[in-house]
């Protein structure tokens, strides 16, 4: 039984297609992050799961029960919003029990739930305050509390941290992670912040233009992005995508850029399909953190490149190199001294590369 299952879901607003044939499944207790740039449809998808938006095609199942036409309040879900959406005229207590009161839960049960949750979230001292008298972090806690008291099957989070300042965001991120570890409730979490997605999710679904590009664990998303969009979206700075061709001769495959004699041997690469490789136009993908300034293992590919630009950011520096007139970024500790406009010896870790078809932009 899947806690949440979405089948062939499509949604359009008028003539604009927002979601196209979405399929998703979440197992009990998992933390799914919907990640994508703004306007990719992730918030719409979350609203559809909540029942706040109608569906044009497809179905949403919660615990194998088709809830596509069920009212939000009957879906056994709770939602935390970006603006917290605390009812301004009610105090914290009233905010937290509003849903239970609507559901006609008994007074004793309401009090019991309220006490448990407010202690757990450390908002028990704030119960009589109005939302306007709370700090951002406290509001966030109350908003989570309001969702918790309902004991939902699924938690929905809609960019809950993007209104907080940088320091508080990191703190609250840890708290949400802890919360999930303790409660083990199923979560669907929308964000455009890749760090949040990577650190919180057990699964990440990366969306773009209303389509799920890849749905995998954070490790697979990072190491084996399924297309150039995912490769580019995850990682900071994002993956270097070097344009060139494959060359296959006597069972050896290598990568060559146009009009150059540099050949990068890629025999160790785990191709999905090892046919018709010769002369294929591809993107050679390597992350800045997988380019080293000294040899780390035998397989490393050694190359001399000229450094054009250096960006110092404290704990590390981002160097831009010229690779046959294509920019290649590398990330080094800031203690390493690299001269600009001079050739530097670099080492590509070939075990970490990705190759994409230049036409379909899919991983090969």
Partner 1 sequence: MQDKIHSSYKQLEQKSKYTNMFLRWFLYFVLVVFAFYFIFPLYVMVVTSLKTMEEIRQGTLLTWPSGLNFDSWLVAWGGRGYGAGDTFLKPYFWNSIKMVVPAVFFSTFIGAMAGYVLTKWRFKGDKWVFLFLLFGCFIPYQAILLPMARTLGVLGISNSVIGLVLVHTVYGIPFTTLFFRNFYVSIPSELVKAARIDGAGFFKIFFKILLPVSTPIIVVTIIWQFTQIWNDFLFGSTFSFGEAAPIQVALNNMVLSSTSVKEYNVDMASAIIAGIPTLIVYVLAGKYFIRGLTSGAVKG
Which residues are at the interface with partner 1 (CB under 8 A)? 47, 50-52, 71-73, 77-79, 81-83, 85, 87-89, 98-99, 102-103, 146, 158
CB of 26 to partner 1, least distance (A): 19
Residue 102 parent element (H or E): helix 92-102
Q: How many CB atoms lie within 10 A of CB 195?
A: 12
- Residue closer to partner 1 by CB (options 155, 348) is 155
**Alpha carbons 38 and 40: distance in angstroms, whole number:** 6
**Least distance from C-beta 28 to partner 1, angstroms?**
21
**Looking at beta carbons only, is 36 or 51 nearer to partner 1?**
51
- For the bound state, the minimum distance from the C-beta of residue 325 to partner 1, rounded and expressed in Å, comes to 48
Shortest Å distance, C-beta 50 to partner 1 = 6
Local structure of 95: helix, strand or coil: helix
Q: In which order are the strands placed within the sheet that holds 301-312?
A: 291-292, 343-348, 301-312, 316-323, 326-333
Phi and psi dihedrals of 207, rounded to 5?
-115, 150
Smallest gap from residue 87 Cβ to partner 1 (A): 5
DSSP codes of every residue in 128-150: TS-GGGS-HHHHHHHHHHHHHTT
Nearer to partner 1, 11 or 290 (CB): 11
Q: Please identify, using beta-carbon distances, which residue of 54 and 343 lies nearer to partner 1.
A: 54
Count the residues in the chain: 364
Nearer to partner 1 by Cβ, of 76 and 254: the residue is 76
Closest-CA residue to 338 (of 363, 305, 289): 305
Q: How many CA atoms lie within 13 A of 359 on its CB side?
A: 4
Bridge-based pairing of strands 291-292 and 343-348 is antiparallel
35 vs 50, beta carbon nearer partner 1: 50
CB of 91 to partner 1, least distance (A): 12
Which residues, in sequence order, are bridge partners of residue 212? 207
């Amino acid at each position: 039984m899947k806690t949440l299952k979405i089948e062939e879901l499509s949604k359009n607003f008028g003539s604009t297609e927002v979601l196209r044939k979405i399929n998703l499944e979440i197992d009990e207790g998992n933390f799914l992050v919907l990640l994508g740039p703004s306007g990719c449809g992730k918030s719409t998808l979350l609203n559809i799961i909540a029942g706040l938006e109608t569906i044009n095609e497809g179905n949403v199942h919660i615990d194998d029960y088709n809830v596509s036409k069920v009212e939000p309040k009957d879906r056994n879900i709770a939602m935390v919003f970006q603006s917290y959406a605390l009812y301004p005229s009610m105090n914290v207590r009233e905010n937290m029990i509003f849903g239970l009161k609507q559901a006609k839960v008994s007074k004793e049960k309401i009090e019991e739930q309220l006490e448990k949750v407010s202690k757990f979230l450390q908002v028990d001292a704030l119960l009589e305050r109005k939302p306007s008298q709370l700090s951002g972090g406290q509001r966030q806690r109350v908003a989570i509390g309001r969702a918790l008291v309902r004991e939902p099957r699924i938690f929905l989070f809609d960019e809950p941290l993007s209104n907080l300042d940088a320091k508080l965001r990191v703190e609250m991120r840890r708290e949400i992670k802890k919360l999930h570890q303790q409660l083990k409730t199923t979560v669907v979490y929308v964000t455009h912040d890749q760090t949040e997605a990577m650190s919180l999710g057990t699964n990440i679904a990366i969306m773009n233009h209303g389509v799920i590009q890849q749905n995998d664990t954070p490790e697979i998303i990072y190491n084996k992005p399924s297309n150039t969009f995912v490769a580019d979206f995850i990682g900071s700075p994002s993956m270097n995508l070097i344009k060139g061709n494959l060359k296959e001769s006597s069972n050896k495959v290598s990568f060559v850029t146009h009009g150059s004699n540099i050949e990068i041997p890629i025999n160790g690469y785990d191709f999905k399909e090892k046919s018709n490789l010769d002369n294929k136009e591809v993107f050679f993908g390597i992350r800045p953190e997988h380019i080293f300034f000294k040899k780390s293992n035998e397989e490393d590919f050694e190359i001399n490149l000229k450094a054009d630009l250096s960006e110092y950011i404290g704990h590390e520096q981002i160097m831009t190199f010229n690779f046959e007139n294509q920019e290649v970024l590398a990330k080094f500790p800031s203690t390493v001294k690299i001269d600009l406009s001079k050739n530097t010896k670099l080492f590509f870790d070939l075990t970490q590369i990705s190759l994409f078809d230049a036409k379909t932009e899919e991983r090969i």
